[in-house]
Each structure stands twice: as structure tokens, then as C-alpha cells.
């Protein structure tokens, strides 16, 4: 085989192998959810780190996104005299799209990088080897609690993000457009109801808006753990793992969001 | 060149870890201890000297003929990552022995410890612990075997999110049903064994400890489960000469008082020779020499003489 093809061949093999390792890690992490021993303390601690401690940035992101969304669309809606629909627009965008994606990207930056840095430094200081030596499976002890915590907390953070976003829209609608709060929230509800319901009571918009953060939580935590545990080359390697995690998780979130939207729109087509 | 026994008692008065307080009494204690150590080492050396000249295969045959099996046995190990790392590596450690693996940096010394721990599996050859080949164990079975071993890492590898107490209690909480009081008792016992005052260090985090203290806590954690095998990766690297002496004495104390079998990876010739019952020299992927420190210092092999650098 010519050297050029050989290089391409090796590179392709490397990528496929990396992908296989990524999914093996994900599979093992989820498999251990049901295997003893359970690290309940670690799970609660990670839920605090991933969920509670991310609340600040999620609140800020959500509130300002909702406000800017209302502000920008008010300019457009004014030209059609349709400012009354601002609640529908903000709610629709936040719940289905912006809430999950923005919360995902913010958590990827904050939590994904944190996971990669922590596991990375544990790897380079031989703490991962020490766990193995002390008879503990590092995946069960470190990866499973993080993945599980992210799967649980991401939807919670997204709901909060959605709510403060819509609240931000409410503030702008009130101040700039003089829209009464009750009217604003009525249009928000109309938007949710327009999407239809599953099992009569569960709004389809909620299903769309909450299935995405669940997947994003998985992407962020597994990507962080994958690059963290794969760290080599001392402190420089830790920096590299952190950067790679944020870049990869952010891209994956945006790409997966597109395909999930396609699928969900087909599933919930009116 | 003088033998190690002489050198072990070179009279260099290594102060106790606590500093110069109560110096005369401690110096006397130290002298007494070093005399005891010398006699124990001499006894071990004498026993081993009677084996001088017997190579590994003969030792293996002795094992077969009814003598005690080696606790750790590596036979004809081949291992390669991108390039070959180890080729045809064999050595055995009997109960209570301290084998020191020396060699230049990057020759795969630490890899040997990872093979014994089964963090790595050899491409060819056998790694036996208590006579059982561990190469084909499942991941869970390997976790069980590792509980027979305590490992002290180069940088101590203490969990930095946990206190000293939690670090040492970790293996006990993971693998035993001990009550919290029993765990505390064991933690105190191990900390005292490594000459640390439990009340002073238990609630500290690893970041608050000095290098030597971290190493000692690392040894205490390795000992927590009362293992029959202790493995040390560069136990004295990055330490000042006094702390190096303290750690070396600690490893010898473990061998003497608890009778554990140890494999130490080191490039510190001086401390290696003090603690070793036998030395394995790893060079160019092979074991170039395996024998007592006295045999090593008496060797005419040019590489060995170069390696020892006039020691």
C-alpha cells in the first residue's frame, strides 16, 4: 500500500477505534447503574456539582436569552401589528430549541470541562490506577455517577432555563410593548397547547424539549469522562482534554440537536 | 567494594522524621534499631547467599520439589506496545523477600508492577500470584486478586478529594464489612506504623502534606487491607536524603515485622541495596542480572559496573 494510503488507513482505523471506545465507555457507565456496589454519595455529590452549582449560569443565560428574543422579535412583530403573539414566539423557541441547546452548551462549558479536568488530573497523578489497585472499577466509581447525575440534572436545568427565559420575555413584553402579564402567559399557554398533547395531558412541546437535554446530559458527561480518562502527557494533557471535551461536546450537541429535531418533528407532526 | 550489610550500618545517623527534638535518646534508639536491622539483614543475606549461583530455573525446580511456591513469579514475559517493552523477563519473589527492580529510566520497570497488578496483560508468558496465573482472569476476578496487594505509587496517588483518614479507610469501606470504629482503629494503627501521628494528620487533605508524609500515607493506605504483597513504584524519588532514609527504613520494617513480600521499582541504588534481598537489573528489555546486592556489586559485567557508577 502506498504510504499516503497507509496514513489514511491508519487515521481512519484510529477514528473508528476512538468511536468504539467512546460507546463502550457509555455502555459500561450505563450498565453499572444497575450493578452493586452503588455509589449513592458520589451520585448526590455529582448532582450538586452538575445541577445545583450550574444554576447560576443557567438562570443568567435563560433570562437574557428570553429578553433578547422578545426584544428582537418585537421589532419584526410590530411591523405586522402582531406583538400580541410575542409570548407564543418566545415560548415556542425557548421550550423546543433554545432552552435545551443553550443550557446544554453552557453546561458543556462548565461541567464537561470540569469532569475532563478532574478525571484528567486523577489520571496523570495515577489516582485512576490507584482506584484499580484498591479493587474499585474507576468507571463504576467515577463515570457512572457523573453520567447518571447529568442525565437527571440536565432536564431539570432546562426546565428552569425555559421558565426564566419565558419570564425574561415577559419583562420585555411588559416594559417595551406594554403587554399585560396575563395576556403574555395566555399566549405562552396557547403556544404549548398548539403543539398537541400525548396521553391527553402531556404537551408534545414538553416531550420535545425534555428529551433533548436528557441526550445532551449523556453527551456532555460521557465526552468529559472519555477525554478525561484518556489523558496522557501530564498537565498539558489535562488542558488538551478539557479543550477537546468542550469543543466535541458543543459540536455534538448542535449536530444531535438537528437530527433530534428532525425526528421529533416527524413524530409529533400535526 | 564493600557489601551492603556494611553499608547499611554506615553509621549515618538519620534523624527521626519529627525533627531534632529529643535527639540523643532518638539517636540511641536509631542506633539500636539499625543494629537490629543489620542482624536481620545479615540473617536473610546468609540464607540467600547459600543460594548464590542458583539461577531462576533451579529455583523453580526447588519450588516443584516441595519447597514453598514463589509468591510472585514472572516467567518469560513478552510485552509490546508500539515497540517491544519487555522480552523474556523472568524472576520470582518468595515469601518475605524484597526484590528491587533497578534500571535506567524508561526501561519498563513500572510496567512490571502493572503486570503484577494485572493492570496490564503480557503478550506472552505467565504472571503467577501464589501459583495462580492471573493473565486470564476476568476484570472482576482481577479486582479480587489485587486485594492481596498493596501498591505505593510514585507520587503517592492519594485521592485529593478525600482526607488522609478517608484515603486509608477507602479499601476497608470498599471491601470489608468493618464497623466505623474498627475502621478508625485500623487507620490509626496503620498511621502509627508509618510513624505519623494519627490525630495530627487524619483530617488533613493530601495537598496539605509534605512529599515524605504523602509517601507514608500512601504506604499506610497500601497496608490498610493487610496485604501479603507490597509493590512500590519509585518510593524514594523526589525526596530529600533524610526522608529517603526514613522511607527505606519503613519498607524494611514492613518486611521485618509483617513479613510481606515486596517488589520495589527504583533507580536509587543506595536505598535499593539497603532494602533488597535480591536485585533485578532491567536493561534493553531484558533482565540483565538477578541476584543479591553483594553479587551485583561483585559482578565483572561492564554494563553492571557502569550502571552502579562506582557504588
Contact B146 A134 (CB under 8 A): yes
Interface of A with B in 131-170 (CB under 8 A): 132-137
What is the pLDDT at residue B38?
56
pLDDT of residue A117: 95
Q: What is the pLDDT of residues A222-247, one digit of tens each?
A: 999 999 999 988 888 999 999 999 99
B100-143 pLDDT, tens digit per residue, is 999 887 788 888 998 998 888 899 998 998 888 888 888 778 88
In the stretch 91-120 of chain A, residues with CB closer than 8 A to chain B read none
Contact B117 A137 (CB under 8 A): no
Size of interface A-B (CB pairs under 8 A): 48
pLDDT of residue A81: 80
What residues in B contact A133, CB-CB < 8 Å? 117, 119, 146, 149, 151
What secondary structure letter does DSSP report for B71?
A: S
Q: Does A127 touch chain B (CB under 8 A)?
A: yes
**Mean pLDDT, rounded, for A163-190:** 90
For residues A47 and A133, the model is more confident at A47
- Band of the pLDDT at B285, cuts 50, 70, 90? confident
CB spacing of B174 vs A135 below 8 angstroms: yes
Does residue B219 have a pLDDT over 80?
A: yes
Judged by a CB distance cut-off of 8 A, whether residue B151 touches chain A is yes
**Residue B159 to residue A137, Cβ atoms within 8 A:** no
Show the cell assigned to A262.
Answer: 428532525
Would you state the pLDDT for residue B36?
55
Instruction: Give me the pLDDT at residue B12, please.
Output: 38
pLDDT at A254 over 90: yes
**Is residue B188 predicted with pLDDT exceeding 60?**
yes
Answer yes or no: do A129 and B119 touch at CB < 8 A. yes
Summarised one tens digit per residue, pLDDT across range B59-110 is: 333 434 346 778 899 888 888 888 888 888 888 998 888 999 998 877 888 8
pLDDT tens-digit map of A75-117: 888 888 888 888 888 998 999 899 999 999 999 999 999 999 9
> Does residue A114 or residue A201 have the better pLDDT?
A114
Name A130's Cβ contacts closer than 8 Å, sequence gap at least 6: B151, B153, B157, B158, B159
Tell me the pLDDT tens digit for each residue of B243-254: 888 888 888 888
Which residues 6+ apart lie within 8 Å of B278 measured at CB? B48, B93, B97, B98, B99, B100, B290, B291, B292, B293
Average pLDDT of chain B? 78
Q: Which residues of A touch B158 (CB under 8 A)?
A: 127, 130
> ipTM above 0.95?
no
A130 lies within 8 A of chain B by CB: yes
Amino acid at each position: 500500500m502506498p504510504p499516503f494510503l497507509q496514513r489514511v488507513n491508519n487515521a481512519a482505523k484510529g477514528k473508528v477505534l476512538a468511536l468504539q471506545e467512546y460507546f463502550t465507555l457509555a455502555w459500561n457507565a450505563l450498565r453499572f447503574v444497575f450493578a452493586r456496589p452503588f455509589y449513592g454519595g458520589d451520585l448526590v455529590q455529582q448532582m450538586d456539582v452538575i445541577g445545583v452549582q450550574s444554576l447560576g449560569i443557567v438562570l443568567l443565560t435563560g433570562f437574557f436569552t428570553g429578553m433578547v428574543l422578545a426584544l428582537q422579535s418585537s421589532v419584526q412583530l410590530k411591523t405586522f401589528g402582531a406583538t400580541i403573539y410575542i409570548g407564543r414566539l418566545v415560548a415556542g423557541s425557548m421550550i423546543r430549541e433554545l432552552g435545551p441547546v443553550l443550557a446544554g452548551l453552557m453546561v458543556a462549558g462548565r461541567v464537561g470541562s470540569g469532569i475532563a479536568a478532574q478525571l484528567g488530573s486523577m489520571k496523570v497523578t495515577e489516582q485512576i490506577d490507584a482506584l484499580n489497585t484498591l479493587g474499585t472499577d474507576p468507571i463504576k466509581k467515577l463515570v457512572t455517577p457523573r453520567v447518571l447525575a447529568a442525565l437527571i440534572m440536565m432536564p431539570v436545568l432546562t426546565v428552569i432555563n425555559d421558565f426564566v427565559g419565558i419570564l425574561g420575555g415577559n419583562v420585555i413584553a411588559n416594559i417595551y410593548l406594554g403587554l399585560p402579564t396575563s395576556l403574555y402567559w395566555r399566549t405562552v399557554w396557547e403556544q404549548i397547547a398548539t403543539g398537541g398533547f400525548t396521553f391527553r395531558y402531556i404537551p408534545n412541546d414538553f416531550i420535545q424539549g425534555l428529551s433533548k437535554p436528557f441526550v445532551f446530559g449523556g453527551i456532555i458527561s460521557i465526552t468529559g469522562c472519555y477525554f478525561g480518562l484518556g489523558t496522557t502527557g501530564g498537565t498539558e494533557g489535562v488542558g488538551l482534554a478539557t479543550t477537546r471535551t468542550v469543543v466535541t461536546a458543543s459540536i455534538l450537541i448542535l449536530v444531535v440537536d438537528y437530527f433530534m429535531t428532525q425526528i421529533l418533528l416527524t413524530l409529533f407532526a400535526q | 567494594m564493600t557489601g551492603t550489610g556494611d553499608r547499611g550500618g554506615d553509621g549515618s545517623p538519620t534523624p527521626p522524621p519529627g525533627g531534632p527534638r529529643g535527639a540523643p535518646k532518638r539517636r540511641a534508639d536509631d542506633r539500636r534499631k539499625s543494629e537490629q536491622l543489620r542482624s536481620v539483614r545479615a540473617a536473610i543475606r546468609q540464607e540467600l547467599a547459600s543460594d548464590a549461583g542458583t539461577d531462576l530455573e533451579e529455583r523453580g525446580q526447588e519450588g516443584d520439589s516441595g519447597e514453598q511456591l514463589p509468591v510472585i513469579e514472572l516467567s518469560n514475559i513478552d510485552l509490546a506496545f508500539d515497540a517491544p517493552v519487555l522480552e523474556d523477563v523472568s524472576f520470582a519473589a518468595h515469601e518475605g523477600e524484597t526484590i528491587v527492580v533497578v534500571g535506567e529510566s524508561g526501561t519498563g520497570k513500572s510496567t512490571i508492577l502493572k503486570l503484577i497488578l494485572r493492570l496490564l496483560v503480557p503478550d506472552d508468558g505467565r504472571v503467577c500470584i501464589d501459583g495462580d496465573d492471573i493473565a486470564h482472569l476476568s476484570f472482576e476476578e482481577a479486582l479480587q486478586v489485587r486485594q492481596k496487594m498493596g501498591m505505593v505509587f510514585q507520587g503517592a496517588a492519594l485521592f485529593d478529594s478525600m482526607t488522609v483518614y478517608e484515603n486509608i479507610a477507602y479499601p476497608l469501606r470498599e471491601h470489608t464489612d468493618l464497623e466505623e470504629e474498627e475502621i478508625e482503629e485500623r487507620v490509626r494503627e496503620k498511621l502509627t506504623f508509618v510513624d505519623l501521628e494519627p490525630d495530627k494528620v487524619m483530617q488533613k487533605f493530601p495537598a496539605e502534606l509534605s512529599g515524605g508524609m504523602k509517601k507514608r500515607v500512601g504506604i499506610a493506605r497500601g497496608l490498610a487491607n493487610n496485604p501479603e504483597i507490597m509493590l512500590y513504584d519509585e518510593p524514594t524519588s523526589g525526596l530529600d536524603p533524610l526522608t529517603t532514609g526514613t522511607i527505606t527504613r519503613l519498607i524494611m520494617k514492613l518486611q521485618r515485622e509483617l513479613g510481606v513480600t515486596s517488589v520495589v521499582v527504583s533507580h536509587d541504588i543506595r536505598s535499593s541495596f539497603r532494602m533488597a534481598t535480591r536485585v533485578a537489573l532491567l536493561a534493553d528489555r531484558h533482565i540483565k542480572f538477578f541476584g543479591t546486592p553483594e553479587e551485583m556489586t561483585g559482578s565483572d559485567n561492564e554494563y553492571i559496573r557502569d550502571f552502579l557508577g562506582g557504588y
